[in-house]
Structure 1
Amino acid sequence: MHMHPFTPMSPILTEQLPSGGEWIYQLKWDGFRILAWVDNGKVELYSKKMLPKNRNYPDLVEVLSKLPGTFLIDGEAVILDGHTGQPSFQLMQQRDKLTDASLIRRSVARHPVQYILFDLLRIGDEDLRNRSYTERRRQLELLADGWKPPLHLAEQFEDVDGLWSWVTQHGWEGIVAKRCSSRYKEGKEHKDWFKRKTILHFDVAIAGIIWKEGRISSLVMQKQGRYFGRVSSGLNERVKLRLRELPAGAGVEAYFPVLPEGLRNAEIHWLDEPLEGRVTGREITELGLLRHPKVIDLGGIPL
């Protein structure tokens, strides 16, 4: 018996989460969505786009293959940063891209994957997707009773304000809200799951302008003398016209002792004077780069 491909249910991004007794809340784990089809020792892992993932996560396959029964689980695969204890999206990206078996084994030993379980879609011959979330959760709790790491049941919370305060204070990705009565629907064709993400703000220096095929593509960010990544989101054509007027005859040495790795082969016009900017982003990677940056202020240039 095999799993038939489908589009996993996804939460809808919002700035204000719903509240009330009909909702429960979970941490948003910053990893890769993984669906696990387990059939009496046989395991099939799939990505959100239904790509096979057994090769990438042999550690999860090994653990799941030892579990009895037939079931389909929806969850998030994460790697926890050894220093912060938080999920590292960068480490997950590195693992997911590996294809060489020896490199994957090395990654398994160095950065083991944890599997956060948050939904049960099928057990035995019974499809649970038309059941309420509360019922699916109850069945998942019964199924996972006694399971040990790297399998973890996603915690649930009722106090959305308290959870949001904790998330922002500790720098986690955000919160997912789920309607207790919700059925499992494919994609985002629903009003039952929502997510709210935290946003970080940073003051940066814009050191250079990156051109591509004769057009302004993005900006080079510098923070405290270090390369902070590229940013293009938030730039419109009016802003780009203003950026064209800025004197840009400096060399890379005005900003960096050597050209940062992420700027190799790019056409960069280094500004004579850095431009003060303010950006938002999701998090700072282990390489010191800002994820999902967006310009919200640019040295007085109206955005």
Structure 2
Amino acid sequence: MMQLQLPAVPMAPITSPDIPSGPEWCYQIKWDGVRTLVRLDGKGGVELFGRRLEPRNHTFPEIVSLLEPLRVGPCILDGEIAYFDGIRPNFQRAKLGVRKRAHEDGLIFVMFDMLNSNGEDIRKLPFKQRFEKLQASFPEKMPRLFVTDLHFDGQQLWKWLNDREWEGIISKRLDGPYMEGKKHQYWFKKRKEVRLVADVVGIKQRDGQVSSLVLRYEGRYIGHVSGLDNASKQVLKQFMMAHPGECPFPDLSNGMKKSDVVWIASPFNCRVSALEFTESGLLRQPRLLGFGDGE
């Protein structure tokens, strides 16, 4: 296969609470999927790479099959492998390919940038020109393989996403080059805050004192949350002593195995928010909102 040069790391958007505005900005939907670079040799040869440039052909053979028939010339594409359930992208379903190596007919590949076109490195070109080349190479939107749309009203797109509970928005400068990592001011992301009701299945202690709550959601471990006041800590300490239980998870990370956790026999609900789910399925920067299901 013709070895077109990959970046050391893919360009990454910077998290921001704001959506920049002005004629120099455009916007794309943030698909809730697995970041993927694709290298095509123009003759049916396909290579998939993950965020850390690890080979992914064996974990996503269904995406390889989608790309093999294409004859668009040698190129490098940037996008996301996502699972679309007909209503919105589903990150956990997309992760099945990484975690279980299962065949998923619902997986799609959404393209949003192009790094190399017909053997020419185009990373220094403005995003507007790179995107135009990408659209010209893939003019047809197929159900499972397409270029994501470009929008020019960020606030309107944000409202559309929130109304449908999609993940977020990526703001991009039209004149920005493709730069590795986050050392730039050209791409920004704003995510819809994750809010959910989780089961408290364990209480983590530090120096013999209650420190945080161990959480379960849809049967899996999603991390732990702190932010407890002293009164809550006293009630929780009495509760865990009265309701000792067993760990509900078949496997624990080494960090959790070393932690001082008291598992409880009678889980209860708590409401939490977070920035997002990480690639490993844990809540990023979780915040305790309260107890009960809120109804």
Cα 1:296–1:151 change in 2 (3 A) is: same
Partner of 2:168: 174
Shift of 1:231: 4.4
| Structure 2 residue 58 is matched with structure 1 residue 46 | no
Shift of 1:22: 0.8
Partner of 1:56: 59
Task: Give the % identical residues.
Answer: 28
Partner secondary structure for residue 241 of structure 2: coil
Structure 1 Cα separation of the partners of residues 285 and 220 of structure 2? 10
Question: Aligned letter for 1:42?
Answer: G
- Out of 136, 144, 159, the residue aligned to residue 142 of structure 1 is 136
Partner of 2:3: 2
Structure 2 Cα separation of the partners of residues 168 and 281 of structure 1? 16
Matched ranges for 1:88-99 at <5 A: 88-99=90-101
Partner secondary structure for residue 243 of structure 1: helix
Partner of 1:243: 233
| Structure 2 residue 280 is matched with structure 1 residue 280 | no
Measured against aligned partners, the alpha-carbon deviations of 1:208-266 in whole angstroms (never above 9, x if no partner) come to: 4135897867414589xx9785543444xx9689736731322268xxxx974479897
Shift of 1:74: 0.4
Structure 2 Cα separation of the partners of residues 290 and 7 of structure 1? 23
Matched ranges for 1:153-232 at <5 A: 153-202=147-196, 206=200, 208-211=202-205, 218-221=212-215, 231-232=223-224
Partner of 1:114: 108
Partner of 1:73: 77
Partner secondary structure for residue 3 of structure 2: coil
Q: TM-score, normalized by length of structure 1?
A: 0.77
Partner secondary structure for residue 135 of structure 1: helix
Measured against aligned partners, the alpha-carbon deviations of 1:89-144 in whole angstroms (never above 9, x if no partner) come to: 11122211235xxxx4xx23xx3320000001101231110000000011111100
Shift of 1:70: 0.7
Unaligned runs of 5+ in 1: none
Structure 1 Cα separation of the partners of residues 198 and 47 of structure 2? 45
Partner of 1:124: 118
Shift of 1:161: 1.2
